[in-house]
Chain A
């Protein structure tokens, strides 16, 4: 899990995410169901929450990003302090599969982004695995 703030807040919020599958291992076309709990906002008002399921590339190249599922919540009844927990689900696509290459890596993740009053936002990222592709290895030949 990665918790990052665009600006260093007085109190760092914490987003705990629970996946419905053990080891966060999913197959293409599976239904991905996620529950999360937000803690540590310490009275700071949240004006929006974004849920997203996406893949991104890592490695030598510039980062590419593909958003598979995106949801923006602006209803105050669905966010802290009225509600500190949330859930969302989406069927997963058939590609791209998670891949651990040498100079190209493809990772899938769930992100919960909190937008506070003012310009500050906080994103919590939770990586999961789609498919069962083994990592690429050197030497290059595998006969």
Chain B
């Protein structure tokens, strides 16, 4: 017998982790989560939820008289050097339990505790000595009495949510590991059903029916064109840049405002915290810079005007030609406007703890090139072109970590603004494919395996 190797060789020269150690580590991680969830859940249920449930369901009602009252103090050490004190009203009550008289200090719930002694005193003063009140006692321990019933909903929520999440993540991971135990990777990949539920992130993208690993195209043909059949949706890198700058400016300046309010309150109180002011100055500078970048990107994104692309048919088939209508709106002059057809490979891989995606344009065909284009608010620039897909072109391909994507790309160089590019994804089918009507997304099939087990 020997221990599994820490490293196993993949194809080529890359070393990857050993599968056995991977399964062991995965099982250990998910097992730890499951045990932690069960322990945490058990503690919360036995310490909080069960006592509260007993008070509401098993404690018996009685009438009692208040004999004395006071505040109970609880001090909890909060390292390094402080102690947190809380106060809780307590009442000495005389009551009848199973025909016998008892005197006992009432046990209030933890929700009654407050760090504010004055508030606890005010609550205590609401009770009058000699008052007759309703109380509930524990039939198995009659000296235990409470004056209030009810549920702390947040404690129940905490008892269900936190341990529940740990049990769910740990349990599903363990089930996934046990299902895969002793199975080959082909067997695991051929087993559909529960694995999709247990590991939704590892599932491949939706594929066109009858064409495994070819992406669905229904999102690309749900908008009719004004002249040609379909208007293609746009994928603009500048839009994501704009969103990124906007989010950065918003979050950074929120921090700056919090710091500035703190510094302002100090100033009003006659104190000057020089460290805070020294920190505020560079933060303010970065915040102003973020706003300037966002406004600049916003002006740039809105100044160029919309680009639209319409196509005579979709999805595209190798060896065929398609009419394309390019329309550029907005105002001003664009020095050059080009339309090209591109095929891009996309690979997602893990590097340490990061997940990276690499893109590589491996095929590019200029379709049309226009110079000194002028667009006006009421007369957009329009031009038609023909796109031809090579008969031996690779079809669009998508899997969990790899993709081959086709797209029409419009690149423009305006006279007074920086250059821009706008991307219109398209789907290319395999040669000689018979394309049916676009499938509803919910009916799109996965790459299902034909799987049989032979056993007599």
Contacts and interface: CB of A to CB of B under 8 A. Distances in A.
B213 A90 contact: no
B433 interface: yes
Given A96-B212, A123-B184, A143 B454 contact: no
B125 interface: no
B308 interface: no
Contact of B397 (A52, A77, A99, A143): A99
B146 interface: no
B186 interface: yes
Interface in A49-99: 50, 52, 54-55, 57-75, 77-78, 90, 93-97, 99
A55 to B, nearest CB: 7
B104 interface: no
A32 B392 CA distance: 22
A4 B38 CA distance: 42
Interface string B344-359: 0111111000000010
Q: How large is the interface on A (under 10, 10 to 19, 20 to 34, 35 or more residues)?
A: 35 or more
Interface residues of B, number: 56
Interface string B389-400: 010111101011
Contacts of B42: none
Contacts of A61: 346-349, 358, 401-402
Contacts of B348: 61-62
A102 B360 contact: yes
A110 to B, nearest CB: 11
Given A104-B404, A140-B362, A97 B345 contact: no
A74 to B, nearest CB: 4
Interface in A94-120: 94-97, 99, 101-104, 106, 111, 113, 119
B85 to A, nearest CB: 55
A141 B433 contact: no
Given A71-B453, A99-B394, A64 B210 contact: no
Given A62-B350, A72-B453, A104-B347, A52 B186 contact: yes
A75 B455 contact: yes
B456 interface: yes
A12 to B, nearest CB: 16
Interface stretch (B68-76, B269-277, B363-371, B409-417): B363-371
